Amino acid sequence: MTSSESTFSLIEFIKISKRVYIIGNGGSYANAMHICNDLLSKGVKAYTLDPSTLVAFSNDFGFNNCFAHWLNIVAEENDLLIAMSGSGKSENILRAIEVADRKGMNVYKIFGNERGEDMQQAEESQLRIGHEVWKLLGL
């Protein structure tokens, strides 16, 4: 399943998924870490690639494969991938989505280019969606 539209479907994906993996580059990576911490505070098994592993995987397997390699190792069917990108064109994000699809993961994209947003608007939307999800998950 792939969606990039409603927060409601993201909530549903979180509820039916065993684990949630969140990825992004630059500001989107910082947002991934922020949203991951918020979801953890709600008891969601949420993960993002830590900086030291990101650099090691990028060095060993190339930056375009860092997230894909990580998901190949840890992700399973019915886990959720939240993929964030301002442009929607980042090779490492697109390759991770391919791995997620192959593994039978749920995929939720927050791509600024699909929303007609510039980079700043895209990164603001990522946090807004993350905070809306946090609120809807309750305590």
Domain extent listing, the chain: 2-137
| Residue 98 · residue 104 · CB < 8 Å | no
**Average pLDDT per run of 10 along the chain, which is 139 residues long?**
58 92 96 96 94 95 97 97 94 98 95 87 93 86
Q: Are 21 and 117 in contact (CB under 8 A)?
A: no
Predicted local distance difference test score (pLDDT) of residue 59:
96
Look at residue 6 in the predicted model and tell me its pLDDT.
Answer: 59
CATH code assigned to 2-137? 3.40.50.10490
Give pTM, 2 decimals. 0.92
Rg (CA), the chain: 14
Give the pLDDT confidence score for residue 114 in this predicted structure: 84
User: Rounded to whole angstroms, how far apart are CA atoms 34 and 39?
Assistant: 9
Number of helices (H), then strands (E), belonging to the chain: the values are: 7, 5
